[in-house]
Structure 1
């Protein structure tokens, strides 16, 4: 309880928490083996204050290696005026030794490009949407360098940050990076999505999904990625509003139709408060 599940990266999940003392685990659902990973070296409390910690899980299809990236935003002690916030990055390659600190040149201001939600690993890079700024941060797993991907020119972000953090904005659609809109949900029935059609030249294509009923009344479903059939999988954010069993929606991009599937046999607490558990089950299953 309390640990966040990464997306499934064949053949592993990664579970982690938001603090230095939280365990980091990998789990293979096929073999049902769990591995507890070593802790990364903590920041000395006498020299710095840690403001935020994010853990990212990635897989490089070229080297066939899984890597964990730990990003910490820290402020030196004593603090200075103006304040200085640094970003420290540690990498652990599974099966290849201990944690390594990487000293890379950041192509952005780390105070403006903090993590704004769940990360997504695709095309051999870990991506996350930032709390501020006009770009997506990408960490290349092969050369271990950062770069930026500009947001679509017509993407309008929600200015109230907690709304933006309610659910994942970055998903995989047909093997491509995709970005989910946020302000469009105010229209209740329409969701806008941008798909990065040309990854290297940063060409986005805008798509629209029309919900059959009000977004709130149908449990506030949001996309979590595509499955082998090409359908987009959506999970409800507010199961407690529907007062029903856990369920998922499947959306056919070509036929523009929805299909609802109930999930049975789960514990009662999952029905009312376990969207992350449902995501994990659905993506793997």
Structure 2
């Protein structure tokens, strides 16, 4: 990576790779990538980085097309959490995300049978596209929380590689199964009630179950969105941190609690609509290149 950093510095200009503390706020402030760098698959470059950039924390771009300057590592083990799958090196995020995870883990520890949280993928040290898996998780504002109750926080590194989460879905996600508990409801509610949270992705049956069970304030349900998968973990996405102009936000969820939409998902699972004969075949998604990302992401890679 040292050779890459040197070439990036030449492309960007020496000023962009000085002490690495600050980066331009606009792509117009940086020279255009050369033809070689712009076509490189970004996942290989970001996936090779083992540590954060020595820059001020800053989200650059969007959740699925961006990167992270000055990332912070969630400690592997804390009083109410453990980071899982440490070999992936994905327990990095923006400081606000790390603070959120720690706060949510304390709330989870108050639930019966939970000592805290098992934390799945967050972001790579400098964000960006991942070598495997997620299309999002690129900007340091996404985190996966395991559905498995964290009943022991003394797991070894080896155990964290072997242990699996548990699935909470039944009937292909139309309903919850017997492993669902009121604790899951309360932990997701605590996450959605945090003003820093933009939305939470969970399988449709879980959203429908929470809609049926909630008897108090229902405003938090708006942030809980049904989506495919997400039955081994729920995915929390945070808002852009205040004052970070380079962060690209997602549109807010539609008004209302979203329970009718969740029920529609459930009915479509139970009674799938017939395929549209006129629908075009799906187009395979190509890998993101450096040219697809905000220009500032090259400075994040180059900073040493």
What is the TM-score with the length of structure 2 in the denominator? 0.26
More strand per residue: 1 or 2? 1
What is the TM-score with the length of structure 1 in the denominator? 0.27
More helix per residue: 1 or 2? 2
Larger Rg: 2
